[in-house]
Amino acid sequence: MATRAPLQHAAALEGPVTAQGRALLDRLAEHLPRIEASAAENDREGAFPADTFDAFRKTGLMGATVPARLGGLGVDRLYDAAVALLEVAKADASTALALHMQFSRGLTLGFEWRHGDRRAAALAERLLRLMASGEAVVCSGIRDHHSVVTTLKPDGSGGWLLSGRKTLVSMGPIGTHFVINAKTDVPGEKPRLVSPVVSRGARGLAVLDNWDGLGMRASGTVDVIFDNCPVPAEDVLFRDPVGSRNDAVLAGQTVSSIAMLGIYAGIAQAARDCTVSSVARRSGPPAGATRTLLAEIDTRLYALRATAGAALATADGAGDDLGGDPAERGRRMMRSFQCAKMLVNQLAPMIVSDCLTLLGGASYTASHLLGRLYRDVRAGGFMQPYTYVDGVDFLSAQALGIDRDNNYMSTWAARPGRNGGAGDAEVAP
């Protein structure tokens, strides 16, 4: 009888699916004990672990998702990136969230390098080479502060000026480059979505030290202000006109964010492992209710990991197939992502909560591991795309055939009252 090839781990995030993913895990392994040892203090102080990221840089991890031809490790599977983030999140979710920013930029810039127009490919290659060498830490600024809309205006000499304020920019304390979501403000022209890249040394750029989150306290999730920051023309990626309803962009938004599912799987796994270890050390056989709840925790955890793994595998498969209708490809990737995200955001907090129930009041303290995990896991519901309300709108519209603009960045830019005036009631969480 012929020997069957071993099955891949694409069932429940149990391991990487490529050699590059395995190499990434091997390099991360040496850092995990130190990350775990400092996590509680960093959480308590709200301190970003800059030394950890300096160590990542020295060992090539900040270029993990940069193509090998450009000097990186060449991890190009979303599944493998999520598995790596899961392992980091088991040690510290804040570190995993910040690292995800760099991983996702490598993945999205890699697509621009391979498939973008000449200008986009050149800009992507420049940033990717800097990431691979450890010189670039690339942060994303998506969400506008409630007080202002971020705009890009011509400077009169062929370049641009960026003004606005972004909130919830993770890894901001060490960011060297900021990829910003903005809209153009050109007299007589329809506003377009743009992604200018601004270096930290640019005139008018200020990174605030204002993060005091309930959870993810060591993620360096800060505000960044832009006051007429000069941006060269070659450092701007042009997107669609505001309100154009191009569902093809959902593919890129999926690639940018779906690996975060691994973070919340890692939090749930860490809570489960801590609880099982504590229960096993108790004297005497556990009560029937304890055993029942442990079985339910493992069942939910498997469902969470399997669902996330399936969505990641779907996204990777769609990433390999650029044929067909780009809009349908984008919707297919986002549907799978949002179904998984909704389930993960339900099950992960439930698992952590059940673990608190089993360990009792001793775990309901700020210094206990479960206390930190309980706060960190809740962050998943605030992450775009989409938050819970937006996710419900997207999935229900897909089921019912309701026409809507699914590009959350475009809908933000088009909302009435987004001018920093009294009519703007949107407040960042």
CATH of the domain at 302: 1.20.140.10
Q: Do both 260 and 391 map to the same domain?
A: yes
For residue 291, being part of any structural domain is answered with: yes
Q: 26-62 pLDDT, tens per residue?
A: 999 999 999 999 999 999 999 999 999 999 999 999 9
Q: What is the dihedral of CA 386, 323, 10, 112, to 10 degrees?
A: -60
Task: Choose the final residue of a domain: 89, 106, 137.
Answer: 137
Confidence at residue 404, expressed as pLDDT on a 0 to 100 scale:
93
* Strands 151-154 and 182-184, bridge-based pairing: parallel
Q: If you search the block for the tokens 């960042």, which residue do you land on?
A: 428
Q: Is position 11 within any domain?
A: no
Residues 221 and 310 in one domain: no
Are residues 197 and 279 both part of a single domain? Answer: no
pLDDT of residue 11: 75
Asked if 259 and 316 touch (Cβ cutoff 8 Å), the reply is no
Same domain, residue pair 149 and 97:
no
Would 166 be classed as within a structural domain?
yes
Residue 303 corresponds to which tokens in the numbers above?
A: 């469902």
309 & 409 share domain: yes
Token match 């939910």: residue?
Answer: 300
* Number of domains making up the chain: 3
d(CA 24, CA 397): 38
pLDDT value, residue 406:
95
234 and 309: one domain? no
Scan for tokens 């799978």, then name that residue.
336
Q: 156 and 101, same structural domain? A: no
Q: Whole-angstrom Cα distance, residue 140 to residue 179?
A: 5
- Residues 312, 265 contacting (CB under 8 angstroms): no
DSSP-assigned letters across all residues of 313-346 = HHHHHHHH---S-HHHHHHHHHHHHHHHHHHHHH
Which of 241, 257, 278 is the last residue in one of the domains? Answer: 241
Residues 77 and 179 in one domain: no
In this structure, the answer to whether residues 52 and 172 fall within a common structural domain is no
Report in angstroms the alpha-carbon separations of 357 from 74, 193, 362, 374.
42, 47, 10, 12
Percentage of the chain lying above the pLDDT 70 cut: 94
The reply to whether 3 falls in a domain is: no
Q: Beta strand pairing status for 182-184 and 192-199?
A: antiparallel
- Cα separations in angstroms, 284 against 63, 280, 290, 355, 403: 50, 9, 12, 19, 60
CATH number for the domain that contains residue 39:
1.10.540.10
263/381 same-domain check: yes
Please give the chain's pLDDT, 429 residues, in tens: 444 434 444 579 999 999 999 999 999 999 999 999 999 999 999 999 999 999 999 999 999 999 999 999 999 999 999 999 999 999 999 999 999 999 999 999 999 999 999 999 999 999 999 999 999 999 999 999 998 999 999 999 999 999 999 999 999 999 999 999 999 999 999 999 999 999 999 999 999 999 999 999 999 999 999 999 999 999 999 999 998 999 999 999 999 999 999 999 999 999 999 999 999 999 999 999 999 999 999 999 999 999 999 999 999 999 888 889 999 999 999 999 999 999 999 999 999 999 999 999 989 998 999 999 999 999 999 999 999 999 999 999 999 999 999 999 888 887 654 443 323 333 232
Closest alpha carbon to 237 in 277, 178, 289, 166? 178
Residue 8 within any structural domain of the chain: no
- Angle value at C-alpha 406, between 310 and 247, nearest 5 degrees: 75
Question: Is 328 within a domain?
Answer: yes
User: Does 376 share its domain with 254?
Assistant: yes
Q: Is residue 369 part of a domain?
A: yes
Question: Distance between CA atoms of 249 and 327, rounded to whole angstroms?
Answer: 8
Range of the domain at 70: 19-137
pLDDT at 415: 67
The pLDDT value given to residue 187 = 94
C-alpha torsion 243→248→249→250, nearest 10: 110
CB hemisphere CA count around 289 (13 angstroms): 5
425 in any annotated domain: no
Structure tokens at 36: 């775990």
The count of other CB atoms within 10 Å of the CB of residue 275 is 25
Q: Of 226, 241, 256, which residue sits at a domain end?
A: 241
CATH (domain of 157): 2.40.110.10
- Same domain for 310 and 335, yes or no, is yes
pLDDT tens, position by position, 259-310: 999 999 999 999 999 999 999 999 999 999 999 999 999 999 999 999 999 9
